[in-house]
Amino acid sequence: MKISALTTIFVLLAAITSMAQVKEAKPADVESIDSIMKAVYDVISGDAGVERDWDRFRSLFHKDARLIPTGKNPQTGVTGATAMTPDGYVERAAPTFAKQGFHEREISRKVDRYGNIVQVFSTYAAFRSKTDKEPFMRGINSFQLLFDGKRWWVMTIFWEAETPDNLIPKKYLN
């Protein structure tokens, strides 16, 4: 019985601690579609070795949010996707950002809205530094956003990088 009670207390304390670590979003980051989109691009961008504000990053996402990169397996030729939580993205991206600069800029946007849900096709260009003229990568981020009556939340970012055999259509570059 003592072990069960101690285990229950430990689990509750861990849950409370993890909930307390979620920082409240800056109101200016989540007041509009434009502001949340700008905040996402801003918070992941920076020079090599510059620590990102991961608390700010997490504050933009709904508790059930997912980030889903896609890519083609070079051995099989099959395109797949990997879903991760915002924390999973931080674990995956932070070591790369420590070694390489990454500045992602939105170059085009197509928005569809119905009520409190929004689908945004956001074409991006990625650079190693702010001063680079040519991107090392481009692609499309597909954002699904939710307005809860008070603020905007990122529910999903699902993306695919441009490849020579899969160029970004012109309609997503205007």
Convert the pLDDT of each residue in 26-36 to its tens digit: 999 999 999 99
The mean of the pLDDT values for the chain is: 90
pLDDT of residue 22: 60
* pLDDT at residue 23, rounded to an integer: 83
pLDDT at 2 over 80: no
* pLDDT, mean of residues 60-69: 98
What's this model's pTM, rounded to 2 decimal places?
0.85
The mean pLDDT of 88-111, rounded to a whole number, is: 97
pLDDT of residue 174: 87
Which one has a higher pLDDT value, 1 or 51? 51
Tens-digit pLDDT profile for residues 133-170 = 999 999 999 999 999 999 999 999 999 999 999 999 99
**At residue 16, does pLDDT exceed 50?**
no
Token pair 């889903």: residue: 68
3 state SS of 54: helix
- Rounded percentage of the chain residues whose pLDDT exceeds 90: 84
Fold of 27-172: Nuclear Transport Factor 2; Chain: A, (3.10.450)
Domains of the chain, by residue range, sit at: 27-172
Q: Is the pLDDT of residue 12 over 70?
A: no
The secondary element (H helix, E strand) that includes residue 143 is: strand 137-147
CB-side neighbour CA atoms (13 Å) of 12: 6
- 72 neighbors 79 (Cβ within 8 angstroms): yes
E strand or H helix at 19, and its extent?
helix 2-20
